[in-house]
A and B are shown apart, each in its own frame.
Chain A
């Protein structure tokens, strides 16, 4: 069930966060979002909450993301319950944002950028998650 949060500050930045049928947790940022540290932390807390301590593949749809602040990148660099992360974008801008994160910060779990959702799911599945 999609999670909508209109009360918590930063909650509006997350468009949806839910498991799909294959047990992959999907996080979709709101359109044109500028991700800062609090919204990054909120997203991470929500992910951990849903995973309940179980390593889970995570697919983040970051298409149309306006920007990711340095502090937000630092939050994403911390370990969470995600066992692998696929960053899904569509434009050259998304690629730059994702690769900058991957290049400058060291991701705590296998993390890759994709422009194709199916490929992203395949890769996540191949990362050996134990399903949900």
Chain B
């Protein structure tokens, strides 16, 4: 009986004694022993199988861990591994020397991908990884965080050494890399966050990111060390983004219109719609104070559509004014982000139909830089808008680096020369010659010219003498609220100045 209890308790190696009598009870005992042996064997088999499966699972888990921890393209650490290592380094530093984090984002990497293809882009990223690893030296965690963003976690170095490492990383990219048969020179925006006792790992990463983004804003090949002021600015921007969302929802945006004059006749030829934000606390804000935040928040396209909708609707309301010049056009600025949307032309077409506006009464202004950097999508959108009958105007002409031959191929009707070119127009003979040459260039490409930023009569007169057809600026009128612009169109029908 004891033997059965031992078996029942799970010790299947136990056997019950069989007496020499080999009678019926011994037969039952033998049966139990056989059964116990079978069960023991099955258990052992199962244990072997469990051990095998566990080993397989462990191997799969290790492989998964490796995949999660590694950036597949470059073999560098992944974002998640970097986060882990930063946390470890911060925790391990205690009151001693704190780890620092360097973030690098390649400048204009998208251009490489777009112009040379993704295979070339990938080759550049792999070479970048090799160079950063070599430049950082051993003992640092180097990660690729996303697309063209890299990170180096520097442990146990003083401030001077961290900054030298950061500079070395940037320098390492400048030797040309051959990709897609073309040698490309790289630069990066670099943000450095030096460690401080008590700084949490996520703050270290966040601050390095803020510094890197600030560096990117300041232009190519810039290195910035995080400062508290940057954090304040970033917080401010986050706050502004939230406010801007509210502004869109609460209808706090509005348009002002600046008249565009026909310099030859002195009559109003059109008006440029300019966005304003009627901020509940700060009053009327110009676009330069909030469009960056809109970009950060991904609201650019939404705001672009808002401007199109409102400006075209307003043009529809103006068309019944008795004194409206027949060739009047409303000029609307679009951002590069708007132009990348393939549905832009159908959207404009729908608005024109909805408000009964003839396409020739709408002019879309696109900056020279947006056109040059936009690639085939932007070119296609411009063509579609042009096909609708909407006029395209090249904004800020003369500030970018347009190729002259490219200018002729664009489906544009006008070019607007930047106001910076008007400085010294009436006082500097050389500047006048320069502006004359630019106007001639615009005309020879078959385009009309608009000058912006005209501040006095002399400038207006000189531009007219140089055959510039249109002009706008404070000399004629500041941007006007809708009511004032409507009033001007209804009653003046002529020269503003």
Q: List 7 A-B contacts (CB under 8 A).
A: A90-B22, A91-B22, A91-B26, A92-B22, A92-B26, A92-B27, A95-B27
Min Cβ gap B143→A in Å is 55
Task: Scan B9-23; emit 1 where CB is below 8 A from any A CB, else 0.
Answer: 000000000100011
Asked whether, in the complex, the Cβ of A91 is within 8 Å of the Cβ of B23, the reply is: yes
Asked whether, in the complex, the Cβ of A93 is within 8 Å of the Cβ of B26, the reply is: yes
- The yes or no answer to A132 lying at the interface (CB within 8 A) is no
Contacts A67-B30, A93-B26 known; 15 new A-B pairs at CB < 8 A: A67-B33, A69-B37, A70-B37, A70-B38, A70-B41, A91-B22, A91-B23, A91-B27, A92-B24, A92-B26, A95-B27, A96-B27, A96-B31, A96-B34, A100-B31
Q: Is the interface of B mostly helix, strand, loop or mixed?
A: helix
| Cα distance, A100 to B30, chains bound together (Å) | 10
For B26, list chain A residues within 8 Å (CB).
91-93
Q: Quick one: closest B residue to A63, CB to CB?
A: B22
Asked whether, in the complex, the Cβ of B30 is within 8 Å of the Cβ of A97, the reply is: yes
Which listed residue (B22, B23, B34, B41) contacts A100, Cβ 8 A? B34
Min Cβ gap A26→B in Å is 21
Which listed residue (A69, A70, A90, A96) contacts B30, Cβ 8 A? A96
Which listed residue (B23, B28, B34, B38) contacts A97, Cβ 8 A? B34
Total interface residues in chain A, CB < 8 Å: 15
Q: Which of B22, B33, B38 is packed against the most chain A CB atoms within 10 Å?
A: B22
- The yes or no answer to A94 lying at the interface (CB within 8 A) is yes
Interface residues of B in 30-50 (CB under 8 A from A): 30-31, 33-34, 37-38, 41
Min Cβ gap A113→B in Å is 13
Q: Quick one: closest B residue to A99, CB to CB?
A: B31
Min Cβ gap B18→A in Å is 6
- The yes or no answer to A49 lying at the interface (CB within 8 A) is no
| Cα distance, A90 to B33, chains bound together (Å) | 19
Min Cβ gap B297→A in Å is 73
Chain B residues with a Cβ under 8 A of chain A: 18, 22-24, 26-28, 30-31, 33-34, 37-38, 41
Asked whether, in the complex, the Cβ of A94 is within 8 Å of the Cβ of B38, the reply is: no
- The yes or no answer to A5 lying at the interface (CB within 8 A) is no
For B27, list chain A residues within 8 Å (CB).
91-93, 95-96
A-B pairs, 6 with minimum CB distance: A92-B27, A91-B22, A93-B22, A96-B27, A96-B30, A100-B34
For B24, list chain A residues within 8 Å (CB).
92
Asked whether, in the complex, the Cβ of B22 is within 8 Å of the Cβ of A94, the reply is: yes
| Cα distance, A70 to B39, chains bound together (Å) | 11
| Cα distance, A104 to B26, chains bound together (Å) | 20
For A94, list chain B residues within 8 Å (CB).
22
For B22, list chain A residues within 8 Å (CB).
64, 90-94
- The yes or no answer to A66 lying at the interface (CB within 8 A) is yes
| Cα distance, A66 to B26, chains bound together (Å) | 11
For A92, list chain B residues within 8 Å (CB).
22-24, 26-27
Min Cβ gap A62→B in Å is 12
Asked whether, in the complex, the Cβ of B34 is within 8 Å of the Cβ of A93, the reply is: no
Min Cβ gap A32→B in Å is 9
For A97, list chain B residues within 8 Å (CB).
30, 34
Task: Scan A49-93; emit 1 where CB is below 8 A from any B CB, else 0.
Answer: 000000000000000101101100000000000000000001111
| Cα distance, A13 to B263, chains bound together (Å) | 124
Q: Quick one: closest A residue to B34, CB to CB?
A: A100
For B38, list chain A residues within 8 Å (CB).
70, 104
For B41, list chain A residues within 8 Å (CB).
70
For B28, list chain A residues within 8 Å (CB).
96
